[in-house]
């Protein structure tokens, strides 16, 4: 299996500490082209035609988000780059930030041009604070080499998983606890400081300069009917080689985990981190695409012999720890699921615990305020279906 490097094309090829090296590789050509040849409306039309969708997990169409934001009233608008990367097993955004910060800066400047924003923020994961000097230098170098048309600032994240959720992130930038907001309104009409705001994942933005350079048809020609372009994954777990790789949308999961990461004797693969979906080994030919499995870009491989209940318990303990507590379906649901999984792990659960597990999971998925609580039960729901006998084996007779 060969990779197709579009987002990662400069990684390892340019010196991320030297803007001249990036300029020599065509840096700012896309921003130049966007401004010289296209109105902001045309840039947005190109993004819509490209079919680019968000890479941070939810998959919302990027061009539509920009259009809605640009049409919202008011002189002040913002662009936020979501570099919080808190999903378990995800390290692809860090890979990009380390190796190609200039393309990200160029993409942010194109977004600002398209929606009419003068200020942009990079919300950087707390655990990535070692990257601060590197990113600050890149922003200073970019500003002094080229009129970006916008001011880009870094905001250090608050160190909570839920702060990666877009409304919690905005609360955090505004100086409050990172808790999700009730919606509507959505960020395109009322985001940061109640102003129209575009918020995008690092990888989503990294696609933008390539689309402007090569045209929307070129981009739409890569991938599947509903999933255009490529996807970057961080692959880890029971693999021969943990890695960051980029493949066309629609690539079978098997090609990444066995072909690229060299995994074998696989029991199951979790696609999308702790909140992702579980693919048992019999379904490894599932396509990596919005119409298959995708999530935020973490692929975690579990080999034969791994204990499903143990993984489920650790997963739910993570969510119980990271739950912000604002809504009760998530707050009480995570704790209750941990309790049942503890009883299962100690083989002292009752048969009624299994129906309770399903009931609580259903309610959390339906009633939680944000994606944390909605997705927290995914592992349990998927493995109850695929490995139900393991749950039954832990129930008291
Ligand atoms: C609990 C939670 C955590 C999230 N963490 C991140 C994150 O670390 N990075 C990210 O880009 N999106 C994250 N998201 C998704 C964002 O809410 C939002 O959909 C995304 O930033 C939009 O950008 P995109 O359209 O480019 O994907 C998270 C969502 C939830 C519910």
Q: Report domain extents, the chain.
A: 19-220, 230-303, 308-392
Say which CATH class 308-392 falls into: mainly alpha
Domain boundaries 230-303, corresponding CATH code: 3.10.20.600
Q: Would you call 235 helix, strand, or coil by DSSP?
A: strand
Ligand 1 centre distance from Cα of residue 124 (Å):
13
Query: Considering the entire predicted model, what is its pTM?
Result: 0.97
Alpha helices (runs of H) in 81-228, residue ranges in sequence order:
92-99, 101-115, 132-145, 166-173, 202-214, 216-220
What tens-digit pLDDT sequence spans the chain (397 residues)?
679 999 999 999 999 999 999 999 999 999 999 999 999 999 999 999 999 999 999 999 999 999 999 999 888 999 999 999 999 999 999 999 999 999 999 999 999 999 999 999 999 999 999 999 999 999 999 999 999 999 999 999 999 999 999 999 999 999 999 999 999 999 999 999 999 999 999 999 999 999 999 999 999 999 999 999 999 999 999 999 999 999 999 999 999 999 999 999 999 999 999 999 999 999 999 999 999 999 999 999 999 999 999 999 999 999 999 999 999 999 999 999 999 999 999 999 999 999 999 999 999 999 999 999 999 999 999 999 999 999 999 999 7
DSSP assignments along 271-304, one per residue: ESGGGSEEEEGGGTT-BBSTTSB-TTSEEEEEET
Ligand 1 centre distance from Cα of residue 343 (Å):
32
- Which ligand 1 atom is the nearest neighbour of the CA of 125? 8
Q: Which fold has domain 19-220?
A: Rossmann fold (3.40.50)
Kindly tell me the sign of the dihedral angle through the C-alpha atoms of 41, 42, 45, 47. Answer: negative
Characterize 247-263 residue by residue with b for buried, 16 or more Cβ atoms within 10 angstroms of its Cβ, and e for exposed: bbbbbbbbbbbbebbeb
Domains 19-220 and 308-392 share a fold: no
Angle CA 117–123–125, to nearest 5: 165
In 29-158, beta strands by DSSP E: 78-83, 119-124, 151-156
Please say whether the beta carbons of 270 and 232 come within 8 A. no
Q: Which of 160, 165, 168, 372 to mutate to test the pocket of ligand 1 (most atoms within 8 A of CB)?
A: 165
**For residue 365, how far is the Cα from the chain centroid?**
19
């Amino acid at each position: 299996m060969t990779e197709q490097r579009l987002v990662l094309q400069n990684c390892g090829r340019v010196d991320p500490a030297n803007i001249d090296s990036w300029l020599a590789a065509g840096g700012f050509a896309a921003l130049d082209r966007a401004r010289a040849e296209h109105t902001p409306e045309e840039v947005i039309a190109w993004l819509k035609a490209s079919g680019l969708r968000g890479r941070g997990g939810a998959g919302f169409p990027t061009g539509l988000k920009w259009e809605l934001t640009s049409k919202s009233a008011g002189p002040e608008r913002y662009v936020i780059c979501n570099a919080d990367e808190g999903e378990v097993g995800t390290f692809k955004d860090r890979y990009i930030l380390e190796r190609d910060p200039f393309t990200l800066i160029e993409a942010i400047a194109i977004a600002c041009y398209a929606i009419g924003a003068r200020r942009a923020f990079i919300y950087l994961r707390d655990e990535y604070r070692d990257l601060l000097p590197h990113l600050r230098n890149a922003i200073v170098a970019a500003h002094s080499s080229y009129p970006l048309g916008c001011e880009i600032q870094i905001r250090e994240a608050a160190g909570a998983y839920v702060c990666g959720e877009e409304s919690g992130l905005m609360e955090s930038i505004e100086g409050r606890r990172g808790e999700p907001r009730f919606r509507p309104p959505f960020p395109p009409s009322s985001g940061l400081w109640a102003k129209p705001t575009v918020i995008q994942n690092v990888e989503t933005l990294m696609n933008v300069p390539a689309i402007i350079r090569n045209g929307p048809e070129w981009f739409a020609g890569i991938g599947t009917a509903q999933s255009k372009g490529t996807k970057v994954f961080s692959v880890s777990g029971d693999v021969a080689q943990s890695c960051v790789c980029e493949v066309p949308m629609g690539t079978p999961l098997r090609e990444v985990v066995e072909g690229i990461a060299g995994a074998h004797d696989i029991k199951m693969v979790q696609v999308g981190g702790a909140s992702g979906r579980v693919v048992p080994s019999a379904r490894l030919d599932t396509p990596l695409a919005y119409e298959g499995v995708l999530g935020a870009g973490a692929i975690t491989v579990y080999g034969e012999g791994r204990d499903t209940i143990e993984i489920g318990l650790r997963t739910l303990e993570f969510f119980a720890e990271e739950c912000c507590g604002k809504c009760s379906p998530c707050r009480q649901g995570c704790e209750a699921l941990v309790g049942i999984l503890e009883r299962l792990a100690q083989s002292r659960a009752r048969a009624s615990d299994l129906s309770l597990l399903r009931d609580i999971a259903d309610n959390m998925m339906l009633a939680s305020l944000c994606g944390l609580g909605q997705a927290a039960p995914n592992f349990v729901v998927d493995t109850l279906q695929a490995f139900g006998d393991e749950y039954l084996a832990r129930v008291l007779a």
